[in-house]
């Protein structure tokens, strides 16, 4: 149980004090909540609230760079942040929570019902990381795969002009979502990413391939493809049955693809 708190003044100070039993503390919506595993396992929390230079939003060469300590409400109120990211930030319904939750914290917590990660993965966001070996830039998909808990996310860079559609399915605006899915249209074709509750953060490469090979593929074919997919480890739980989750993934992917390429659903 964390009993010590360090109020880091800079990203370097935060990283230098990061040990195996310490945890970064950003907005607090994840670490400070009752029952948080992170706070239970850590003996020290490193608060990033006073870190300088982590709350800027800048634009250059068609890309937007967002400081990791920008809150969801900062994203919504910014004139620079692209609409698709504002839409994802709005998935967090509570404004009081949006005043606290940060983009960096939401990525680092890697929740299986993440608000932002599906959208950031679909647009190919790049993370600037600060670690003991200096700074580096990695794609968000790579970060999700290898989760560098000791390195600090300092900024997130996303393209400004890209066509993206996102959907989130939950019982209520405040509930945990069973599925959050985003699709982006790039020169290479459609990119499909999602967060499936209790399963994880997924890149739907088989579905992308199917849509690229046959843009007019039927909804029934997509439903059948997901129904028999062995690489998808959905299970029955309080958020729905395995069958329901697979059906939801399939029809949502089909819907997003059709809307992105401008066809009626």
Partner 1 sequence: MDRQYKVVHCTINGKKVEQVVDVRASLTDMLRNDFRLTSVKKGCEVGECGACTVIINGEGFNSCIYLAVWAEGKDIWTLEGLTGPGGELSDIQQAFVDEGAIQCGFCTPGFIMTSWEIVNSGKEYTDDELRKALSGHLCRCTGYENIFRAVKKTMLRHLGKYDEAELVNSQGITEYPEPMPFK
Residues that bind partner 1 (CB under 8 A): 2-5, 7, 28-29, 32-35, 39, 43, 45, 47, 49, 73, 93-97, 99-100, 173-174
* CA 3 – CA 43 distance, rounded (Å): 6
Facing residues of 128 across strands? 137, 155
* CA 188 – CA 247 distance, rounded (Å): 26
Nearer to partner 1, 47 or 186 (CB): 47
Shortest spacing between CB 208 and partner 1, in angstroms: 33
Shortest spacing between CB 36 and partner 1, in angstroms: 9
Q: Of 91, 72, 3, 5, which is closest to residue 40 (Cα–Cα)?
A: 3
Nearer to partner 1, 52 or 243 (CB): 52
Nearer to partner 1, 48 or 190 (CB): 48
Q: What is the DSSP letter of 102?
A: B
* CA 258 – CA 239 distance, rounded (Å): 26
Q: Is 194 exposed, middle or buried (0-12, 13-18, 19+ CB in 10 A)?
A: buried
Shortest spacing between CB 76 and partner 1, in angstroms: 11
Shortest spacing between CB 111 and partner 1, in angstroms: 13
Nearer to partner 1, 11 or 105 (CB): 105
């Amino acid at each position: 149980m964390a009993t010590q708190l360090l109020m880091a003044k800079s990203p370097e100070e935060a990283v230098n004090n990061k040990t195996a039993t310490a945890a970064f503390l950003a907005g607090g919506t994840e670490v400070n909540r009752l029952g948080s595993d992170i706070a239970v396992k850590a003996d020290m929390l490193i608060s990033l609230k006073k870190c300088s230079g982590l709350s800027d939003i800048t634009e250059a060469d068609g890309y937007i760079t967002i400081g990791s300590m920008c809150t969801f409400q900062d994203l919504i109120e910014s004139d620079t942040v692209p609409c698709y990211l504002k839409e994802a930030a709005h998935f967090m319904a509570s404004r009081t929570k949006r005043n606290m939750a940060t983009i960096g914290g939401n990525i680092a917590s890697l929740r299986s019902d993440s608000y932002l990660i599906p959208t950031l993965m679909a647009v190919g966001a790049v993370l600037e990381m600060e670690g003991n070996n200096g700074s580096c830039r990695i794609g968000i998909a790579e970060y999700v795969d290898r989760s560098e808990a000791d390195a600090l996310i300092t900024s997130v860079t996303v393209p400004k002009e890209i066509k993206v559609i996102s959907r989130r399915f939950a019982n209520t605006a405040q509930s945990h979502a069973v599925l959050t899915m985003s699709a982006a249209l790039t020169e290479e074709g459609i990119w499909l990413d999602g967060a499936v509750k209790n399963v994880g953060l997924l890149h739907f490469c088989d579905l992308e391939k199917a849509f690229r090979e046959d843009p007019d593929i039927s909804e029934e074919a997509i439903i059948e493809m997901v129904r028999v997919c062995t690489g998808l480890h959905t299970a029955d739980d309080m958020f729905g049955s395995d069958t329901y989750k697979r059906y939801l993934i399939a029809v949502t992917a089909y819907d997003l693809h059709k809307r992105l390429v401008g066809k009626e659903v």
